[in-house]
């Protein structure tokens, strides 16, 4: 029988802290969130290993190190409203809700949404809402947002999504560039956006964020 509390602390001490993740709010949230509940029962024994975990066909939770470093880059504060895109089983949303004032999640899989909401209820995550929708479209109804967090790799993000950021708002994702995955942060300043490299990382792609191939004759 695995002691999940011990495994969770080992994840933080051996994967998160040594990766230059220093914000106490991230450490606290990842120590609190029972990651084993957000993966299939057959995968619970490996819930805290340093790799992505498939939670549904073609859907993965980010590995703990990459997830934590993305949260560090997002610089989520206690008064922030965060849009969490494609969270699958809702682990990222639960962690973010622990750090922020509120989290709004958009997930395309109806069954995953139902499971996530049941876990939010069980864990008394009262400041998070998850609904079925298209992550590429975001959620204009509840924005604008201080942070937009995308759970995976993208080629590009549409202007209609970055427009949902507040002034000074940050969008964090793994961008695929020339075959290499890079965590990058986009920051809004008026109608312009700066783009900052943070670290190299690989992650499963998020459907809908692929770059359209140019048509050639």
Per-residue pLDDT tens for 44-69? 999 999 999 999 999 999 999 999 99
Pair of tokens at residue 142: 């509840």
Global pTM value = 0.95
Is residue 162, in this structure, part of any structural domain at all? yes
Q: What is the pLDDT of residue 165?
A: 98
Per-residue pLDDT tens for 140-158? 999 999 999 999 999 999 9
SS3 content of the chain, % helix, strand, coil (to 5): 35, 30, 35
Average pLDDT over every residue of 98-127: 98
Is residue 206, in this structure, part of any structural domain at all? no
Q: List beta partners, residue 103.
A: 82, 128
Q: What is the pLDDT of residue 179?
A: 78
Q: What percent of the chain has pLDDT over 70?
A: 98
Is residue 211, in this structure, part of any structural domain at all? no
pLDDT at 123 over 60: yes
pLDDT at 73 over 60: yes
Is residue 216, in this structure, part of any structural domain at all? no
The tokens 């958009």 sit on which residue?
Answer: 106
Per-residue pLDDT tens for 27-47? 999 999 999 999 999 999 999
Q: How many folded domains does the chain comprise?
A: 1
Average pLDDT over every residue of 152-179: 95
Q: What is the pLDDT of residue 143?
A: 93
Confidence of residue 1 (pLDDT cuts 50, 70, 90): confident
Q: What is the pLDDT of residue 213?
A: 60
pLDDT at 177 over 90: no
Where in the sequence is the domain holding 154, given as residue range(s)?
A: 4-200
Asked if residues 155 and 88 have their Cβ atoms less than 8 Å apart, the reply is: no
pLDDT at 214 over 60: no
Q: What is the CATH number of the domain that holds 131?
A: 3.40.50.150
Is residue 126, in this structure, part of any structural domain at all? yes
Question: If 0-12 CB within 10 Å is exposed, 13-18 middle and 19+ buried, where does residue 194 land?
Answer: exposed
């Amino acid at each position: 029988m695995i002691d999940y509390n011990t495994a969770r602390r080992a994840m933080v001490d051996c994967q998160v802290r040594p990766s230059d993740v220093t914000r106490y709010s991230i450490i606290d949230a990842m120590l609190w969130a029972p990651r084993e509940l957000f993966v299939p029962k057959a995968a619970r024994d490996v819930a805290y290993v340093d790799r992505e975990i498939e939670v549904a066909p073609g859907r993965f939770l980010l590995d703990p190190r990459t997830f934590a470093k993305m949260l560090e880059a997002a610089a989520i504060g206690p008064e922030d409203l965060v849009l969490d895109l494609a969270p699958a089983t809702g682990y990222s949303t639960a962690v973010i809700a622990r750090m922020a004032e509120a989290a709004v999640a958009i997930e395309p899989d109806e069954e995953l949404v139902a499971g996530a909401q049941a876990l939010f209820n069980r864990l008394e995550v009262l400041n998070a809402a998850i609904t079925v929708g298209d992550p590429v479209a975001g959620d204009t109804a509840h924005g604008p947002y201080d942070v937009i967090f995308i759970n995976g790799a993208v080629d590009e993000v549409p202007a209609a999504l970055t427009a949902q950021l507040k002034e000074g708002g940050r969008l964090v994702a793994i961008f695929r560039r020339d075959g290499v995955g890079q965590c990058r942060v986009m920051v809004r300043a008026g109608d312009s956006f700066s783009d900052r490299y943070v670290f190299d990382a690989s992650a499963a792609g998020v459907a809908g964020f692929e770059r359209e191939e140019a048509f050639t004759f």
